[in-house]
Copies of this chain bind each other. A is one copy, B any other.
Amino acid sequence: MPKTKALHRKSYHHGNLVEVLLAVTIEIIEERGVEHVSVREAAKRAGVSPAAPFQHFRSKTALLTAVAEQAMGRLMHAYAAVKSNADPDQPLAVLEELGRRYLQWAVAHPTHFEIINSRTLIDFEASDSLRTQNAAIRQRMVELLTEARERGHLIEGLDLDYVVLTARALVYGLARMAIDGHFPRWHPSEPPPQAMRQALRLFIGQITVSSAK
C-alpha cells in the first residue's frame, strides 16, 4: 500500500503530472482555441520537459481524448440535475428541459462542446467512457419519449428513432450555430436566447398531442 503522494514540487518527479496536464490543456483551449493546443506548450505550462507528457499519453490525440472524457463527465453532471427541476409527469417537458440544458451548457463551455463532438482531434471510438456516456444520453431520450407515448402525450405514427435523431440534430445544429456566432450577443451564463428556445419549443410542440397540456 503506497503512502499518499504528497504534492511536493521542486522534486525531480512532478507528482501529479496527469491532472496538471489536463488542467493546463483546458487552459490553453480556453485561451487560444482547441486547434492551437500543442503538447509542448502544455508541458511548458506544467513546468516539465517536452517529452514528459508522452509518458502518460501515447499521443496528442490521446491527451485531447482524455480532456474530452473529463468534459463529458461534466456534461453528465449538469444533466443529472434536470430531473429534479422538471415535472416527471410531463416527460416531454423534461425532454425539452434536457435540450435547453444542453444548449446552455454547450454555449457556456464551447471548449468542452467542441472537443466532445470532434471526430478529428480526439479518438471517440477508442474511448469506452465517451461511447457509453453518449449512449446513455440517447437512452434517456428514448425512455422519455416512450413514457410520453404511454401517457398519450405523443402524437401517433411517430418512429421514436427518427424523433430522437431529429431532436439531436436540431440541438446539435443550434449549439454549433450559437458558438459560431449566428446569434446576437448575450452572456452565456443566461438561459439560451429566445431564438434557440423557440426552435426547441417549435419542435417539442409539434410532436405533442394538442390535448396534453
Q: Are B162 and A195 in contact (CB under 8 A)?
A: yes
Within 8 A of B (CB), among A160-213: 161-163, 165-166, 168-174, 176-177, 180-182, 195, 198-199, 202-203, 206-207
A198 to B177, CA, bound (A): 23
Task: Judge whether A128 is part of the interface by a CB distance below 8 angstroms.
Answer: no
Q: Are A35 and B120 in contact (CB under 8 A)?
A: yes
Task: Judge whether A119 is part of the interface by a CB distance below 8 angstroms.
Answer: yes
Task: Describe A's contact surface by its main secondary structure.
Answer: helix
Partner of A199, one of B162, B171, B199: B162
Partner of A176, one of B161, B172, B174, B198: B172
Given contacts A171-B173, A176-B176, contact A199 B166 (CB under 8 A): yes
Chain A residues within CB distance 8 Å of chain B: 33, 35, 119-120, 158-159, 161-163, 165-166, 168-174, 176-177, 180-182, 195, 198-199, 202-203, 206-207
